[in-house]
Structure 1
């Protein structure tokens, strides 16, 4: 595929970053890039605020609805519905415009959503429909944030360091997932949900500042694709012509939609099954995040070259089995402990899948492919949220985790069989 070269910078996408020594330096080698350091520092603060808001929003919905799992499922569905509608077009936008500037606008908008919900809550004016509306607006910003942010990673670190950067992003994400809900659980108990939303709104300033401080000349940019109609169709055609990529994307959809409805499922389990308060819910999220952080750290250490497809499918199968087993734990403590290996398995699968997709596509269509990736990764959440709420309402709080785990296991086995039949053996590496 040939692309015009009317936009270039001092660095090109083919340049490799210097390879550091082994050990701890290898795990954090992407941080040698100045721009990525700014980005990662801002993400630590902003993502902590995001996880605080997620925990507070789930708890606020349960309080306003009288503990209804179905109402919580609606909130989740509204927040992720825009992903289904807009993420593909966001991928086109990511390929066409400056990703750093796009992220500044999007992150600022997400921060304003937190401030608005916080002001309503602190003022005693919040109603359930307002939470639904702001969840929908936040979802619109998030629909553009995800593909732009995902495809921007390679511009900060270059292709050689992309697997490591993806793993470090997962570490940051899951460090925030540990700290955010735990802090939110305490704050909700002490001062209520409103201040938590305000803190999240303010935390967005950290990532915006990091983006503003970057040096655009140090980015690993590729040439801009040609303008004109049909660019979305071109990206979809690119993916459909690569069956291995299609199978990975379908697996990502199944893992996310049926297996990763953690926040709303855990809120119901904590409140309705084990009769715990907001702090107990936060501790369940933290237990899962201990596992996902461990999985991300392992991925960062082994990241060197293209990830193995066996890791993608094996991680998904392990995640499905472990989630189904965790759903049957008889006590709150045993349930929390069982979430640690669940977190390791899901992070192994999703980190490998993300790097597999990014490294196996042409840079000229990476934004559009990652738009499709994020649409599948996040866009199924409305379906998963509604299904999770319905299962918990009809059966009990354990049902969404059991059904989700078995669904992921089935999808992994089916996907592996498809690749085995096509290739007469599952390929060791993507690409």
Structure 2
């Protein structure tokens, strides 16, 4: 049985620096996501325009993901992490132009939105690299017996920063406006870089001149396809997030259905992450010790039911509670899936496997945002959210009945 020792893992200074840097950068990313959804909807008053934010990022992220995995495995990881960090600072800095001067120009709200989409397209390229780098560094920093706990703590830091980012983003938008919120986001990403500078270098085990790029990228894909536990977990989460992306419609719910304004919008955005943070804190102390595969299937189906409840609710407190519960179930799912991927992946292809993982998982959030926007345009907002929750439940049933290895998975 693997020993879970949160305090012992946190005694590792390098791991703390990696975790703290990730906390600040995810805090910034969540604030940016909150800001962009609000900003674009205020510019266009069109739910579909929110979906296009996700599409603008997911296209380059997915297109570059396999190559990003190859680059991560073949190069020094700390240097790549810092390059991506500063690339984000530059790109988000470009959004300051319409934020500070948009009202002084003759550009329409839709024209400013197109500019925002263009900037987000390039952040998608940076995301293809930065997404897999941090988790790929963890196994070289902590001992193997502490790896499951490190994965849980990493996800806990992610969720705490998500909660704070969503909530603070809403309050800053209400109190200081879009432009000063963007300035604060850039400052947070710079602070993250200060912690990343404290990390040790992690050099590649390969000599680049001896590696064929296409064969290298294919190796990560082949490994996932033959490892049914990883494949099942990634497929389950990808489709659940794709169809269960109700959070993309929160700006519409906050503005037009629940009528709670920017402050209520920020809290609704943070609700699912509050639930996830609570459950992951519990899992850090009391880990899941058996039947993780079955639990994964049950919590994904429960997540879909919560999305249906949120879609039908017209009461702010009830909508908030459905999102909190959905976050608790999603948090369990994330911990199980992340641990399966880390434990089942050899070090020498970890970057490539995690890059494929980013195609399945990270990019599915943006595709889910696009799907939600498109479905809202075709069906109406409420029907689209209920449809997404129903599809999530069906996906859990299908994966559970067709993947016995995942269903029997324990670690």
TM-score for the superposition, normalised by structure 1:
0.86
What's the counterpart of residue 243 of structure 2? 258
Compare 376-385 and 275-284 and name the one that shifted more. Answer: 376-385
Q: Decide whether aligned partners of structure 1 residues 150 and 307 sit closer, same or farther in structure 2, where only a CA change above 3 A counts.
A: farther
Q: Confirm or deny: 8 A CA contact 1:115 1:200 kept in the other structure.
A: no
Match of 1:321 among 287, 305, 308: 305
Check if 1:27 corresponds to 2:25: no
Compare 44-53 and 351-360 and name the one that shifted more. Answer: 44-53
Structure with higher helix content: 2
TM-aligned CA deviation for residue 261 of structure 1: 4.9
1:182-193 to 2 correspondences below 5 Å: 182-193=167-178
TM-score for the superposition, normalised by structure 2:
0.90
Match of 1:403 among 379, 387, 395: 387
The CA distance in 1 between the partners of 2:36 and 2:169, in whole Å, is: 10
Compare 230-239 and 342-351 and name the one that shifted more. Answer: 230-239
Aligned pair count reads 400
Q: Confirm or deny: 8 A CA contact 2:34 2:169 kept in the other structure.
A: yes
1:69-108 to 2 correspondences below 5 Å: 69-108=47-86
The CA distance in 2 between the partners of 1:98 and 1:303, in whole Å, is: 33
SS at match of 1:334: helix
What's the counterpart of residue 23 of structure 1? none
What's the counterpart of residue 36 of structure 2? 57
Match of 1:117 among 80, 95, 100: 95
The CA distance in 1 between the partners of 2:241 and 2:138, in whole Å, is: 21
Instruction: Note the alpha carbon deviations across 1:193-222, whole angstroms, 9 max, x for none.
Output: 111111111211122111111234xx7x88
Match of 1:173 among 148, 154, 158: 158
The CA distance in 2 between the partners of 1:188 and 1:210, in whole Å, is: 27
1:234-383 to 2 correspondences below 5 Å: 234-262=219-247, 264-303=248-287, 308-383=292-367
Compare 337-346 and 167-176 and name the one that shifted more. Answer: 167-176
Instruction: Note the alpha carbon deviations across 1:103-127, whole angstroms, 9 max, x for none.
Output: 1110111122222212430233581
Q: Confirm or deny: 8 A CA contact 1:225 1:364 kept in the other structure.
A: no
SS at match of 1:330: coil
The CA distance in 1 between the partners of 2:313 and 2:196, in whole Å, is: 44
Instruction: Note the alpha carbon deviations across 1:137-194, whole angstroms, 9 max, x for none.
Output: 1111111111122212222223222221222122222212222222222221222111
Match of 1:205 among 185, 190, 198: 190
Q: Confirm or deny: 8 A CA contact 1:306 1:356 kept in the other structure.
A: no
SS at match of 2:35: helix
Unaligned runs of 5+ in 1: 1-16, 21-25
TM-aligned CA deviation for residue 306 of structure 1: 8.9
TM-aligned CA deviation for residue 293 of structure 1: 0.5
TM-aligned CA deviation for residue 356 of structure 1: 0.4
Q: Confirm or deny: 8 A CA contact 1:90 1:148 kept in the other structure.
A: no
Match of 1:388 among 352, 369, 372: 372
Q: Confirm or deny: 8 A CA contact 2:376 2:382 kept in the other structure.
A: yes
Unaligned runs of 5+ in 2: none
The CA distance in 1 between the partners of 2:217 and 2:293, in whole Å, is: 27
* Cα RMSD for the two superposed structures: 2.4
Q: Decide whether aligned partners of structure 1 residues 145 and 69 sit closer, same or farther in structure 2, where only a CA change above 3 A counts.
A: same
